[in-house]
Amino acid sequence: MRVFSFIVFVLLMALGSSEAGGSAGGSGNGGEVVGHGSLSLSELEEREDVIGAALAELAHYTPRGGIGPVGYRSAVFGGADEEPWVEVDLGEEVAVDEVVLVPCLIRDPVSGYRADAFPQGVRISTEGGELLAELKKGEIDLPRVAPLVISLGGQKASVIRVASRDLMPRAFDGRRLMQFSEILIFSGERNVALRRPVKVSKLSKDEGAAWNPANLTDGSLPYLMNSARGEPSVAYLSLAMTSALEQQGEELSLNLDLGESRELSGVRLHAVDQSDTVPQQAASGIGMPAHLLIEGAQKADFSDARVLLDNKRGGSYDVSPLMMWPLREMRCRYVRIRSLDPLHEDSLGVAEPRIGFAEIELLSEGKNVARGKVVSTQRKAVHTRRSLEAMTDGRNVYGEIRPLRRWLHELARRHALEKELPLLKAELELRYDRQKERLRWVSLAAVGLVVVVIFLILVHRMLEERKISRMKERFAADLHDEIGAKVHGIGMLSDLAGKAISSPEKLRAIHQDIRGLTERLGRSVRYCTDLLEAEGLYTDMETDMRRMAERLSIDYELKIEGRDFLDGLSQQVRLDLLLFYRECLVNINRHAEASRLMSRLSAGEHEVNLVVADNGGGLAGRVPGSLRRRARLMGGRVSSESPPGGGSEIRLKMKIRRKHKKKS
């Protein structure tokens, strides 16, 4: 039963345990590092659910369309040790929390959108060469679409240099160079790199409107702000004027009341969506003034207005879906956005003055203070499907507008989780396959266990039946040895009594013999019962053997060797030895007609030997059946010899197993 319990325990442990080991999990910049091999199956499934829930909450990287600034492309470098660099002059020393590197995207014919010529390693340092952060080859997940977020932990700097290491070949011609779409440097929620001067290690021959160092800090990103959360909002776009007189007599402007005086530091203008068709039905920047003037004032009539931003764009490369500028810092309650050059060509090819935005964000200490504020216009007619409230509702056509730093973090984390998810699924599939294999082996083991249990039950039953049979045989032998002779004697006395019926004295004597034999028969029956049930019988082997020999009324000699080992034998073994010895004496008394008996009992740690010799008629090497039966019950070997001087000699040899030894 112990073996059975152990097998069941092992099977249950094998079925319920989860394997350690396996492939290492993925990691990525902007996301947590996870080692899948150290997780249990339930933890892997939980991790998969966590990733699925997180991806449902994160912004999507949706590449923008149309024409616009691409970014900066360095000169071609041939040497492996060369490190192109760009420097952003922050104008003053600030605590830098993060540097965000945004890749230039291309359409890959196999994988879709991906970064092009994004370096495998980068070094972030100050102008004087003080190293602030470093990512070596293998520490940046490539290919990627998302921005790379590098934490600097608040280290102070006035100039940030980004040097590229282990350059990647660009897809176009395989030449090694460095490309970035944008470099953002955050101090808190503020992008301190916005519109700041940029230096480069070596200008490229491809420098132009689309590829220019200034593009690195212009705030133009290759993504649309697609949070995929919240209700969409249709951007505001003013109505077209119906006559030339209207066009001459009315200025296009938008006024915002912030509710209280605020110190503004920046503005973000989200362009009107250019339709969701591919290709787009309108040129980039519809509703975005070619000459943008932003004024701030403390009075509602703007009689004390001061210029916050005066921006003239040079062409299509100065327009993007999200445009950002720092403002001349001043306190104001009212803000006016004026379009001094409002002519735009619409989808029908007609040039007409229009103004409109998907969202206006006015920043104070990195927070948008324009959200939910009232916007007004001098126009008498407002588009019925494009309300003024849409410019400050915190939403665009894709849903909620996220804070810039949070949005970039979400894109980076999405990249990390999307890189991890296939590795996680592969590990889960591996675990499931292993679990199926273990389940198959456990099922086979369970079937084998059932077979073993059935076999053990059958063997146990056979052993029990054999034990019962041996008990019956032993009991029969005991009845034969103890009772059979006395019953036979009673029968013989009964025959004599029948012949002596005419002699009262003789009959009386026979009757007394019968009575005595009957009493001895009763004691023998009790004796047989005692043999099966009594405890503590036959503790003194030598005394019992001498008592049995004295009943023969012949000379006898008894030698005992190894008394300590005899005392250690179990009660059953001692009983078997005594019964065998008495059966030898019975045979000598009945058949041998001997006058002398010699017995020797010797015991050792592993064996007991009994020799019984007489000077009688001898057995001619024959062993009586009763002795063979008794020896078989004992598990011993019996033999008979005829000594040269005559008589017979019975030898019993019995091995002592551990379970036959007396329990202490």
Residue 79 within any structural domain of the chain? yes
pLDDT digits 0-9 by tens, 445-495: 999 999 999 999 999 888 877 766 666 666 566 666 666 656 766 776 677
List the CATH number of the domain containing 264: 2.60.120.260
Q: Cβ of 459: how many Cβ atoms within 10 Å?
A: 10
Same domain, 282 and 317: yes
Integer Cα distance of 436 and 442 in angstroms? 10
| Structure confidence at residue 427 (pLDDT) | 92
pLDDT digits 0-9 by tens, 626-658: 888 888 888 899 999 888 878 899 999 999 875
Residue 226 within any structural domain of the chain? no
Q: Cβ of 393: how many Cβ atoms within 10 Å?
A: 19
- Compute the residue count for the chain: 664
Same domain, 368 and 320: yes
Average pLDDT over residues 255-283: 85
Average pLDDT over residues 160-164: 95
Integer Cα distance of 88 and 101 in angstroms? 12
Same domain, 454 and 380: no
Which amino acid belongs to residue 36? H
Give the distance, in angstroms, between the CA of residue 210 and the centroid of all CA atoms in the same chain: 49
Q: C-alpha angle with apex 601: 597 to 604, nearest 5 degrees?
A: 165
DSSP letter at 577 equals H
Q: C-alpha angle with apex 21: 17 to 25, nearest 5 degrees?
A: 120
Same domain, 78 and 157: yes
Residue 302's pLDDT band (boundaries 50, 70, 90)?
A: very high
- CB-based burial label for 497 (10 Å; 0-12, 13-18, 19+): middle
Q: C-alpha angle with apex 61: 58 to 63, nearest 5 degrees?
A: 160
Residue 20's pLDDT band (boundaries 50, 70, 90)?
A: very low
Integer Cα distance of 178 and 36 in angstroms? 34
DSSP letter at 349 equals S
Integer Cα distance of 596 and 613 in angstroms? 8
Residue 446 within any structural domain of the chain? yes
| Structure confidence at residue 480 (pLDDT) | 63
Same domain, 79 and 31: no
Least reliable range by pLDDT among 24-33, 256-265, 283-292:
24-33
In contact, 297 and 262? CB cutoff 8 Å: no
Q: With 90 as the cut, is the pLDDT of residue 524 above it?
A: no
List the CATH number of the domain containing 639: 3.30.565.10
End position of a domain, from candidates 401, 419, 446: 401
Same domain, 311 and 379: yes
In contact, 330 and 296? CB cutoff 8 Å: yes
In contact, 333 and 339? CB cutoff 8 Å: no
Residue 85 within any structural domain of the chain? yes
Phi, psi of 379 (to 5 degrees): -65, 140
| Structure confidence at residue 237 (pLDDT) | 86
Residue 188 within any structural domain of the chain? yes
Residue 341 within any structural domain of the chain? yes
DSSP letter at 271 equals P
Same domain, 72 and 38: no
Place of tokens 């040895």: 481
End-to-end CA distance of the chain: 25
Q: Cβ of 540: how many Cβ atoms within 10 Å?
A: 12
Average pLDDT over residues 98-118: 92
| Structure confidence at residue 548 (pLDDT) | 78
Same domain, 174 and 322: no
| Structure confidence at residue 19 (pLDDT) | 46
Structure token digits, residue 82? 């060369």
Same domain, 279 and 249: yes
What is the domain range of residue 615?
539-664
Same domain, 114 and 160: yes
Same domain, 344 and 442: no
List the CATH number of the domain containing 175: 2.60.120
Could you give the residue ranges of the DSSP H alpha helices within 334-403? none
Could you give the residue ranges of the DSSP H alpha helices within 294-403? none
Same domain, 116 and 35: no
CA distances from 352 to 19, 255, 294, 336, 342 (A): 70, 21, 21, 21, 8
Residue 343 within any structural domain of the chain? yes
Average pLDDT over residues 592-611: 88
Residue 496 within any structural domain of the chain? no
| Structure confidence at residue 510 (pLDDT) | 76
CA distances from 631 to 20, 148, 603, 623, 658 (A): 60, 92, 17, 11, 19
How large a percentage of the chain has pLDDT more than 90? 45
Burial code of 220-244, b = ≥16 C-beta within 10 A, e = fewer?
bbbbbbbbebeeebbbbbbebbeee
* Arithmetic mean of pLDDT over the chain: 83
Of 146 and 379, the structure prediction assigns the larger pLDDT to 146
**Cis amide bond preceding 63, omega within 30:** no
Of 22 and 509, the structure prediction assigns the larger pLDDT to 509
End position of a domain, from candidates 438, 460, 482: 460
Domain count, the chain: 4
Helix/strand/coil for 526? helix
